[in-house]
């Protein structure tokens, strides 16, 4: 019996995620007419642009062993603040966009500082942040504000053709830039290594002399930036600002990260997995839409179960028995590659 | 002076001091700024007034806080209480049906079935945490996401309105001039108190929360203790769901118990139970829930838009959490000790 090529254990959850995505996509293509159009895939990116951005930010937080529940509220707040500054104050987008992004960074930094210096659980602090941001939306405006700014409208309506197969929006380009930057940050910088180290074991990271305090605060700053950017993208997508937008989005973002193969205990996972996590959720929604008769709330149930399955997979992959077996196999392969390959 | 400062320290360290002090502060604020806040009237043989209103409206939150206390005491957390309340509200209203003045099923069948559903939800959470060894926050996140979908599936995506007088008694009825909900809360509280303080279960819960593996080695069935906590928590959430649906005479799967998991956790934390588990205070959690409800009612009494409540809650959470945080505690201890030395 021929053995499949040896895959490093740490890539297994990621492989499962990508395989699931491809499997679901093939299922959709076989089942439904029109599903194989490339535009279906581009729409997946267009409709989930904001979710991908904020989930990427969340990945860093979770990799560092934290959690941020404020992202959904932060996105809603960004849409309201942008709409208010554009419409009611008549400010130019050149001021508005950097302004809201700066606010996101400061908001994240504040939460990070409280979490680190007061040693409060991130769960509680970001919960307070969520209440605060959600409430501030309504302090600014209880109604939805439509954005009529020409720049926002132009960006929203602009379509970029992709080799004649369809089109994407500017938001998708932003997503791709964020993704590349995140991949660089996570895997090619000292900051990225420190994030993984803190998530693995904060005490050890501290003893190794890594800048734990700075990195932890930076992670929440980064996530604040990502959620604010997602808010900008979302306000372009919806062309309005409203305090009730993206209710419960933090859970979708966390689910994406988990489905993407990142361990919630921190230290293990990949940014690219998160992107697939979002896409899988979007794909489930698309399939349910194509199916036509199923209700949209099935999405919630399926995503919930999927999250559970992936958590189950994670604990299976990390069970002592599995690790022992994998290590034994690796050792055997090293000692006698021919024998192991022949098996 | 020394005895005075020691007495002060004893008061400060007593579990209920801070939550009661905060509650007193809110009441004092109302005494000065809200006219007629403390006025109680008797109309049709029932007591009316803001205080009764707080007790009545706070009932679901108090119930959830009681259940949540036990879960948090085992070093866990249950994020699904809001969703469980929604599922139970949906179940109860669907079983009663929307026939004018009648019910599809007698109430003595509806209530046990609904509570049975709640117990099933609790069993699911408890098994995931105790047997599948999934982190509590994640395990209950699954039901939190999927639960609303399930509730919508039960109601068929509609807001079910009931027209059966006797069903309204749970949420809006009066017994001996007091809201019936108070008797429900008192009953559940008494049950929880007897269970934890008159049997060894309370001790087991505290020991599991302090150190699960040490408890296991000293012969405590650590898995079943955790299971019990989650089942009881879901049971409380189920009763809360019935009260909510009975009070508003309908069930909206999207909104019943929305954000209540956060309020419940907050109540427990305000009540002096640490998120890290161990010693817990049921009375403290109930006071915490009352505090949250009074703050909400006070803000409403001022005619502030209800959405702003969120901002105030955020500030309260942050204040309380910082007060309980380790660095602040150390600083406070140092301060009081120095004062003692000087005396």
Q: What is the pLDDT of residue A111?
A: 94
**Average pLDDT score over residue span B110-116:** 89
User: pLDDT digit string (tens) for B38-53?
Assistant: 777 777 667 777 778 8
Q: What is the pLDDT of residue A318?
A: 67
Task: Confirm or reject contact between A254 and chain B (CB < 8 A).
Answer: yes
Q: What is the pLDDT of residue A320?
A: 66
Q: What is the pLDDT of residue A6?
A: 62
Helices (H) and strands (E) in chain A, counts: 16, 4
Whether residue A4 has pLDDT greater than 60: no
Closest residue by Cα to residue B235 from B81, B46, B43 = B81
Residue by residue, DSSP assigns A125-140 as HHHHHHHHHHHHHHHH
| Distance in angstroms (rounded) separating the CA atoms of residues A249 and A133 | 13
Residue B5 lies in a domain: no
Residue B331 lies in a domain: no
Among B148, B262, B311, select the one facing A300 at the smallest CB separation. Answer: B148
Q: What is the pLDDT of residue B301?
A: 76
**Average pLDDT score over residue span A172-193:** 94
Q: How many CB atoms lie within 10 A of CB A324?
A: 10
Residue B255 lies in a domain: yes
Least confident of A96-100, B28-32, B75-79: B28-32
Domain count, chain B: 1
A296 near A274, Cβ under 8 Å?
A: no
Q: Which structure tokens are listed for A168? A: 């994407």
Q: What is the pLDDT of residue B343?
A: 45
- Chain B residues lying within 8 Å of A67, measured CB to CB: 137
Residue by residue, DSSP assigns B311-330 as HHHHHHHHHHHHHHSHHHHH
Fold of A9-342: ABC transporter involved in vitamin B12 uptake, BtuC (1.10.3470)
- Chain B residues lying within 8 Å of A127, measured CB to CB: 262, 265-266, 317
**How would you classify the pairing of strands A145-146 and A159-161?**
unpaired
**Average pLDDT score over residue span B230-237:** 94
Least confident of A23-32, A147-156, A176-185, A319-328: A319-328
Q: What is the pLDDT of residue B341?
A: 55
Whether residue A291 has pLDDT greater than 50: yes
The answer to whether B145 contacts A298, with C-beta atoms less than 8 Å apart, is: no
Q: List b or e across B66-91, with b for residues whose CB sees 16 or more CB atoms inside 10 angstroms.
A: bbbbbbbbbbbbbbbbbbbbbbbbbb
Tell me phi and psi for residue B244, to 5 degrees.
Answer: -60, -50
- Chain B residues lying within 8 Å of A307, measured CB to CB: 138, 141-142, 145
CATH of the domain at B148: 1.10.3470
Task: Confirm or reject contact between A341 and chain B (CB < 8 A).
Answer: no
Q: Which residue in chain B has the smallest CA separation from A306?
A: B142
The answer to whether A298 contacts B305, with C-beta atoms less than 8 Å apart, is: no
A25 near A282, Cβ under 8 Å?
A: no
pTM, entire model? 0.81
Q: What is the pLDDT of residue A3?
A: 54
Residue B85 lies in a domain: yes
Distance from the A213 Cα atom to the nearest Cα atom in chain B, whole angstroms: 15
Domain that holds residue B180: 17-25+46-303
Q: What is the pLDDT of residue B1?
A: 47
Mutate to test the interface with B, among A61, A80, A120, A319 (most CBs of B within 10 A): A120
Coil, strand or helix: which one is A182?
A: helix
Residue B263 lies in a domain: yes
The answer to whether B141 contacts A251, with C-beta atoms less than 8 Å apart, is: yes
């Amino acid at each position: 019996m021929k053995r499949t090529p040896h895959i490093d254990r740490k890539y297994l959850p990621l492989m499962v995620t990508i395989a699931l995505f491809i499997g679901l996509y093939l299922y959709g293509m076989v089942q439904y007419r029109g599903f194989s159009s490339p535009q279906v895939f581009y729409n997946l990116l267009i409709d989930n642009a904001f979710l991908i951005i904020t989930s990427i930010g969340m990945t860093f937080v979770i990799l560092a062993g934290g959690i941020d529940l404020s992202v959904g509220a932060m996105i809603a707040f960004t849409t309201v603040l942008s709409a208010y500054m554009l419409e009611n104050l008549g400010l130019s987008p050149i001021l508005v966009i950097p302004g809201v992004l700066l606010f996101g960074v400061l908001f994240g930094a504040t939460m990070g500082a409280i979490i680190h210096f007061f040693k409060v659980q991130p769960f509680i602090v970001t919960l307070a942040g969520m209440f605060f941001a959600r409430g501030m939306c309504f302090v600014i405006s209880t109604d939805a504000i439509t954005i009529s700014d020409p720049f926002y409208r132009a960006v929203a309506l602009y379509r970029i053709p992709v080799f004649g197969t369809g089109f994407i929006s500017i938001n998708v380009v932003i997503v791709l830039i964020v993704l590349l930057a995140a991949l660089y940050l996570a895997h090619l910088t000292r900051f990225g290594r420190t994030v993984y180290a803190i998530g693995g074991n904060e005490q050890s990271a501290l003893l190794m002399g890594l800048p734990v305090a700075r990195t932890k605060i930076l992670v929440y700053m980064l996530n604040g930036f990502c959620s604010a950017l997602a808010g900008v993208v979302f306000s372009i997508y919806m062309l309005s600002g409203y305090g009730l937008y993206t209710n419960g989005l933090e859970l979708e973002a966390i689910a994406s990260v988990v489905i993407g193969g990142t361990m919630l205990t921190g230290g293990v996972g990949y940014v690219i997995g998160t992107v697939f996590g979002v896409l899988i959720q979007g794909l489930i929604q698309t399939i349910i839409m194509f199916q036509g008769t199923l209700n949209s709330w099935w999405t919630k149930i399926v995503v919930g179960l999927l999250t559970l399955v992936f958590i189950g997979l994670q604990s299976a992959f990390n069970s002592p028995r599995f690790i022992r077996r994998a290590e034994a196999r690796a050792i055997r392969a090293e000692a006698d590659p021919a024998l192991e390959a022949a098996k | 002076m020394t005895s005075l400062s020691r007495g002060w320290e004893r008061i400060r360290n007593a579990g209920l001091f801070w939550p009661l002090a905060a509650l007193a502060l809110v009441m004092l604020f109302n005494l000065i700024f809200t006219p007629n806040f403390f006025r109680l009237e008797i109309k049709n043989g029932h007591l009316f007034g803001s205080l009764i209103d707080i007790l009545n409206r706070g009932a679901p939150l108090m119930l959830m806080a009681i259940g949540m206390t036990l879960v948090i005491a085992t070093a866990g957390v249950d994020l699904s209480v809001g969703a469980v309340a929604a599922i139970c509200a949906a179940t109860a209203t669907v079983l009663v049906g929307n026939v004018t003045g009648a019910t599809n099923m007698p109430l003595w069948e509806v209530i046990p079935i609904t509570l049975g559903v709640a117990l099933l939800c609790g069993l699911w959470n408890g098994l995931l945490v105790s047997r599948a060894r999934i982190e509590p926050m994640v395990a209950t996140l699954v039901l939190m996401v999927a639960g609303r979908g399930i509730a919508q599936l039960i109601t068929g995506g509609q807001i079910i309105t009931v027209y059966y007088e006797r069903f309204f008694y749970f949420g809006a009825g009066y017994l001996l001039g007091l809201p019936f909900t108070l008797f429900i809360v008192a009953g559940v509280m008494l049950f929880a108190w007897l269970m934890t303080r008159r049997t060894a279960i309370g001790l087991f819960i505290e020991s599991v929360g302090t150190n699960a593996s040490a408890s296991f080695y000293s012969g405590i069935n650590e898995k079943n203790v955790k299971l019990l906590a989650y089942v009881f928590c879901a049971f409380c959430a189920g009763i809360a769901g019935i009260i909510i649906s009975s009070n508003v005479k309908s069930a909206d799967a999207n909104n019943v118990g929305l954000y209540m998991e956060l309020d419940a956790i907050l109540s427990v934390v305000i009540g002096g139970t640490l998120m890290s588990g161990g010693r817990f205070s049921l009375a403290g959690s109930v006071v915490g829930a009352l505090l949250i409800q009074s703050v909400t009612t006070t803000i409403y009494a001022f005619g502030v838009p209800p959405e702003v409540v969120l901002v105030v809650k955020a500030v309260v959470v942050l204040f309380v959490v910082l007060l309980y945080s380790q660095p602040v505690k150390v600083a406070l201890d140092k301060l009081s000790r120095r004062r003692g030395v000087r005396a």
